[in-house]
Structure 1
Amino acid sequence: MEKTGTPTCDKLKEVDANILLRAMSSARWTKDPKNLPLLRDINRAREEAERIGDIGLTVRFEKIKLLTTSELLEWLGNTGEFYVITSILDGSGKVSEYTTQYFQGIKRDDFLPLGTGGMLVGFIKNPRWFIDVHMLIMESDSDIRNYGKYIEKAKKESGLDKILETIGNAIAFDPSRISQVISGVNVFLNVLAGILKSNGDDHVATIHDFYLKHQKFGEGRHPKDGLKRFQNVEVAYWIELTKL
């Protein structure tokens, strides 16, 4: 999507969404006269984003580079088996759907074979308030391939679906509720990783980013150049907006 008409959104994309969210959640910060220029930027960015109209948002991973395999496999000269569990969600309250993909024959410093155009995570029409991107990467030491029941178990234990329902019922942008969703996703990912580890698999990395509507939902490549490290992987992904 063309950047024309959203200069303040593009400016705020350079700011960590966590910082923006904390600022907007603080009555003390919003009432401090020193912060008036920044508050104006936040309000102006919201207005710019509203003027965009109907959009479709797509997230796809361009590259995932593995920086580790088990020491035993390396010592034996063997390759490893890895899988990813990933999803995106927004403030609509809709229960997130998870995509899983399995990769075999992977060595240290290999790129996962994501195929032409990369790995599609998901699509959201007219995302509400924010977009959350998360992925769990595990090294498989078991024969279990049906991850659906573990995802549902982790959702139940973390209360993620209830948190999403709460924000879905909100009638106005509420930074504190968005913070609850982000925290809920963190808990879910930790619970899910623990469940999978208890079945013999090894945690490789947890990827979790989010962007606000004020930031044009983070449209573009992340990072802008090269790769971004999360624990034992380096990745690059795209958030693409399409005018509908």
Structure 2
Amino acid sequence: MKTAVVTGSSSGIGAATARQLAAAGYHVFLAARRADRIEALAEEIGGTAVATDVTSAESVAGLAEAVGPRLDVLVNNAGGAFGSAPVAQADAEQWRRMYEVNVIGLMQVTKALLPALIASGAGTILNVGSTAGRIAYEGGAGYTAAKHGTQVVTETLRLELWDQPVRVMEIAPGMVRTDEFALVRFDGDEERAAAVYAGVAEPLVAEDIADIITFMVTRPAHVNLDEVVVRPRAQAAQHKVHRNPR
């Protein structure tokens, strides 16, 4: 049976991806900090829960040990946005947290699992980026900087692994409504979180992204979908979103 690791799999895109990869025949290692959630999901899909903090090298080493010597797919999904202050009022600690999880964490997990991916003979690394990694917007400098980092690390990996049997891909979603992303960004402010999606009849949902991720990693081994940018139909660009009047 093929194996996959999905980081940040306790909710949202990560949990949906774990479910769809399991349905596609993978044994999924669920890596996230909230052990209770991934243990419940592992029982549901027949996977393996490994409590993991991607920002901790020691924790990531434990994940690599649990996975073992061979791995087919790594989905680097762990990430997050914290705060929306302009640069003039930026919180340095929030910026550090975003860089740690979106860039350093991605590097540490990839580094630890790369030998197992190479050993599979046809490994795949898929990094979950964002349209924020491609365009700037007011109040988003910390997050856009981190997600630009995700994109550039992905491009660099593809160059560095050009002679290895490992594909390197990125999916860059636009507006995706999940249970937690906006709530976390606005520090639990439900009104501000809801306003992000106000009037948008059909934003993307986690299952949409998971469906595309599963398609990407299940292409033949010689097919590398370098990057897939996906937005809801209502979002023509970062600043141009169709909203129905109330």
TM-score (norm 2): 0.28
Q: Which has the higher helix share?
A: 2
Name which structure has the greater RCO, CA cutoff 8 Å, separation 6+.
Answer: 1
TM-score (norm 1): 0.28
Which structure: larger Rg?
A: 1
Q: Which has the higher strand share?
A: 1
